Amino acid sequence: MSLLKDNNEAKKLNRLEVTPVSRVAETRDALTLTVELPGVGEGETELTLENRTLSIKAENTVQSFTDYTLMLTEIPEVCYRASFDLPERVDTAGIKAASRNGLLVLTLPKREEVKPRRIEIAAG
Amino acid sequence: MRAYLNTMNNPWRVFDELLTDFPIEFFNTAWRARTGRFPRVNVWEGEKGLVLEAEVPGVDPDKLDMSVDSNVLTLKGERTQSDGSPAEFQRSFNLPFELDSANITAAAKNGVLTVSIPRKAAAEKRKIAIEKL
């Protein structure tokens, strides 16, 4: 266990890790994965794809106001973390992500079906 | 015995184990249950008035309905539940003072709604004469 370099680092470590609320919808061409990340600014979400595992990591920003006293606290500073094992039918190269109103919407296109094909037999 | 020896070698191990065994999933669930109300809020009070922050992920700011009745602030709207189905939500706050409802401002960013509510200017003190009967 090493000593923490600075206060910021300690603050980050102290954040409660939570799994964000997420849902999946399926259409003919794609799967849509929606993850709720309220308070996470644009470009502050870390999205990584390793093999077929999609990982999401983000920290929310909870505003504080000077000259005001906090009366009711229900929104903690958290670190959102989630990972999803993508099914084989997803084309990982075509994944698109967009964020709007505190939602991260991932479009996971389905792969072109591997169609059965005819194999010619060369005449011996 | 082995565990004990390990503890002897590395006294910090106790803490490592505490961290490893920490039932994070349980606390996630407990945390959700405790804050099951929607939306979750932070409320700040100051001399000028009040600032309310509400987490409303996925809620279109245009479809958020906010109303004030004397000292009760109500937030209403429609959200998408985790199973994808829509659900109406409503939450009211009993505020400790009368609000200047005409000067409420609200802004939404990244799924967080920030409402600032000024206090109503205190009514002038009025002396009431007591009639002698």
Summarised one tens digit per residue, pLDDT across range B74-93 is 999 998 887 788 888 999 98
Tens-place pLDDT, residues A31-87:
999 999 999 988 899 999 999 999 999 999 999 898 999 988 889 999 999 999 999
Scored b (16 or more CB within 10 A) or e, A38-72 reads: bbbeeeebeeeeeeeebebebbbeeeebeebeeee
Assign B63 to helix, strand or coil: helix
Q: Name which of B35, B95, B110, B117 to mutate to probe chain A: the one with the most chain A Cβ atoms within 10 A of its Cβ.
A: B110
Walk along chain B (133 residues) and give the pLDDT tens digit of each residue: 455 555 556 666 666 655 555 555 555 555 544 446 789 999 999 988 889 999 999 998 888 998 888 788 899 999 888 778 888 899 998 888 888 888 889 999 999 999 998 888 765 667 788 888 7
Assign A93 to helix, strand or coil: helix
pLDDT computed for residue A3 by the predictor: 55
Contact across the interface for A65 and B57, Cβ inside 8 Å: no
Torsion of Cα atoms, B109 then A106 then A79 then A85, to 10°: 170
Tens-place pLDDT, residues B38-48:
899 999 999 88
* Rounded mean pLDDT, A99-117: 82
Fold of B37-118: Immunoglobulin-like (2.60.40)
Residue B86 sits at φ, ψ, to 5 deg, of: -80, 150
For residue B132, give Cα distances in angstroms to B126, B129.
Answer: 19, 9
- Residues in chain B closer than 8 A to A99 (CB atoms): 110
Does A96 reside within a domain?
Answer: yes
pLDDT of residue A104 exceeding 80, the answer is yes
Does A36 reside within a domain?
Answer: yes
Does A69 reside within a domain?
Answer: no
Cα separation, A30 vs A53, whole angstroms: 17
Does A101 reside within a domain?
Answer: yes
Residues of chain B with CATH 2.60.40.790: 37-118
Domain total of chain A: 1
To the nearest whole Å, the CA of B58 is away from the closest chain A CA by 5
Task: Kindly report the CATH number assigned to the domain that includes residue A95.
Answer: 2.60.40.790
| Polymer length of chain A | 124
Cis omega (within 30 of 0) for bond into B39: yes
Does A78 reside within a domain?
Answer: yes
CA-based nearest residue in chain A for residue B34: A74
Cα separation, B116 vs B100, whole angstroms: 10
Q: A49 and A95 in contact (C-beta within 8 Å)? A: yes
Q: What percent of chain A lies above the pLDDT cut of 90?
A: 51
Question: Residue A18 pairs with which residues in a beta bridge?
Answer: A80
Is the minimum CB–CB distance between A23 and chain B shorter than 8 Å? Answer: yes
Q: B113 and B56 in contact (C-beta within 8 Å)? A: yes
Q: What angle do CA A9, A11, A17 make, to 5 degrees?
A: 105
| Gap between the terminal Cα atoms of chain A | 71
Does A3 reside within a domain?
Answer: no
Can you give the residue range of the structural domain that contains A80?
11-63+74-109
Cα separation, A20 vs B127, whole angstroms: 57
pLDDT of residue A114 exceeding 60, the answer is no
Instruction: Considering only the beta carbons, identify the residue of A34, A70, A99 that sits closest to B42.
Output: A70
Does A117 reside within a domain?
Answer: no
Mean pLDDT score across all residues of chain A: 86
| Gap between the terminal Cα atoms of chain B | 91
HSE at residue A12, side-chain half, CA atoms within 13 A, is: 9
Q: A17 Cβ partners below 8 Å, 6+ apart?
A: A78, A79, A81, B24
Residue type, B64: L
Question: Bigger pLDDT: A4 or A119?
Answer: A119
H-assigned helices in A1-124: 7-14
